[in-house]
Amino acid sequence: MERMWGGRRLDSEFGKKLPPNTRIGESWEIVDRLEAQSVVANRPLKGKTLHELWTQNRHDIFGDVPETPRFPLLIKLLDAQERLSLQVHPPEELAAKLGGEPKTEFWYVGAADPGAELFLGFRELITREQFKRALDKGTVEDWVQKIRVKAGEAMFLPGGRLHAVGGGNLLVEIQQNSDTTYRVFDWNRVDATGKARQLHVDQALQCIDFTDVGPHLIEPNGEVLIKHELFEIQKWNLDSSLSNRLAPVRQRRSCPRRILSNSSSVAGSESRASQKSNIAAAGYDPDAVTAVCDRRIIFPNLRRP
C-alpha cells in the first residue's frame, strides 16, 4: 500500500514486486476484511479466501476457536522510511461509541537503521488540557517518550496508547482485525500536492491514556514474546537443518496475500496430526512450520550454518 512515509524495503528485504516510483509503507500479509483478502496460493484450497476458510472450514483448519464474524487478526509488514503520524487506536470500551473498531497491537522490529526510534506513551504525567495546549503550540513531541530500537526487539500497544513509528524501522505488526486510527499530530507535513492529511484530534483526545508513562519494550520469557487474551506470540530459533525444508516458503515469499507466510503461521488448538495435514495442504513442510495454540503467531528465526 502506498504511503507518504513508506519506502522500498519490502522489495529488498522480502522480495515483493512493488510498483515503480512509489513509496510503499504497508503489506497486509494475513487479512480478512471487506477491502482486502488473503487467498490460498496452491493445493486443494487454491483460490479460497481467508474469509471463506474462516466461515466454511473453521473447525477443520483452525480448530476449536471462538466464534467471530471474521478472522480475528490482521498481520502486516510496515516499512517506515519516515516517521508515521502521532496517533492512537480506540480501546474496546470506546470504539463503538466513536464509530470505529477496537485495536490492540504488537510490533516486532524486523530491521532498524542506527538510531531508529519508536514513540511510545509519555515521558511524564500530563493532563488532557496540557496535551491540547502542546498541540496548539506544536510542542507535543516534547512530551512523548522515544525509545531507540534494534532488530529483534518488540513492543505491545494496547488500545489508548499514544504512539508513532520512527523512520528507519521495518516492523511486523500483529493486531486485532481493525483499521481504525486517530491521527493527533502529523509533524506539520504535507503531501506532494501541498495538502495536509486529515487529523482526528477530538476522537484521539477521548482515547489517549494520559497516565501511560514510560512503557517498556517487551522482555521475552523464553520463546514467548507475549501472551495476551487476543493473541500469543512466540519466537523460535530453528536448527539450520530445517533450511532445505523451509526453502519452498522462501521461494514463494513474493506472494502478498496468503494464509501461511514465510514469517508467521496461525492455527487453532487442533491435534498435531490435523495441523500437519492442513499445513501440508497449503504447500508447506508440516515438520518445519507448525503452530500449536489458539491465535498463536510464531516467527521462525533460522540460524545459518
Q: Which residues are catalytic?
A: 183
Amino acid at 200: H
Cα(290)–Cα(35) distance, integer angstroms: 29
Strand pairing partners for 268? none
Cα(8)–Cα(17) distance, integer angstroms: 10
**In sequence order, what are the residues at sequence separation of 6 or more whose Cβ sits closer than 8 angstroms to the Cβ of residue 242?**
288, 300, 302
Q: Are 229 and 258 in contact (CB under 8 A)?
A: no
Q: Are 117 and 144 in contact (CB under 8 A)?
A: no
Report the number of secondary-structure helices (H) and strands (E) in the chain: 8, 17
**In sequence order, what are the residues at sequence separation of 6 or more whose Cβ sits closer than 8 angstroms to the Cβ of residue 84?**
5, 164, 165
Q: Are 253 and 277 in contact (CB under 8 A)?
A: no
Q: Are 121 and 145 in contact (CB under 8 A)?
A: yes
Cα(65)–Cα(62) distance, integer angstroms: 7
Cα(124)–Cα(154) distance, integer angstroms: 22
Q: Are 172 and 264 in contact (CB under 8 A)?
A: yes
